[in-house]
Amino acid sequence: MKKYLILVMMFTFLLSEDVILPYISPGLQLGVNNNFDIFISSQLTLGIYLINGPAIGATIGTRKFYTTEDKKWNSFVYNDYQIGSPGLGFGIGRVYYKKDVFLKYKAYIGYIALLTYDYIDFKKIKNHNMGIFGVLPLANYPMR
């Protein structure tokens, strides 16, 4: 997956005649899954934003969740790659939980306050998550 992200970024740089801004975006999410278990996530995204184009980023994060079945808090870490614009975005990545790796898909709408949806394929349990995400995208000076 990293190869594809690097290729997309290279083609974006080559084809772009616009200003490229690197950015960093910390975020905090509160949400609920399809079993009405609550969770909180924190993440950090590093990426590039093309003026008049998409934002492309790589994210690392952690999620703590309470399960009514276990009656305790658990956690996992994740990474993903995303592409979007202010207002709409999509991503795909991996969740690392109890020595296993699972696929994660996400979508979001909004800019600073985002409505989010993600799906994690835990093999035995299909986990749909919805939440509110607050992010603070900080762009750097133009690279060109």
The number of beta carbons lying within 10 Å of the beta carbon of residue 126 is 10
pTM higher than the cut 0.85 = no
**What does each C-alpha distance from 35 to 31, 65, 77, 125, 130 come to in angstroms?**
12, 12, 20, 11, 11
Q: Above pLDDT 70, what percent of the chain?
A: 84
pLDDT, tens only, 108-133:
999 889 999 999 998 877 789 999 99
The reported pLDDT for the residue numbered 137 is 83
CA 1, 44, 50 angle in degrees (round to 5)? 70
Q: What pLDDT score does 12 carry? A: 55
Angle at alpha carbon of residue 41, lines to 141 and 53, rounded to 5°? 35
Q: What is 17-60 written as a DSSP string?
A: -S-EEEEEEEEEEEEEETT--EEEEEEEEEEEEETTS-EEEEEE
DSSP letter at 3?
Answer: H
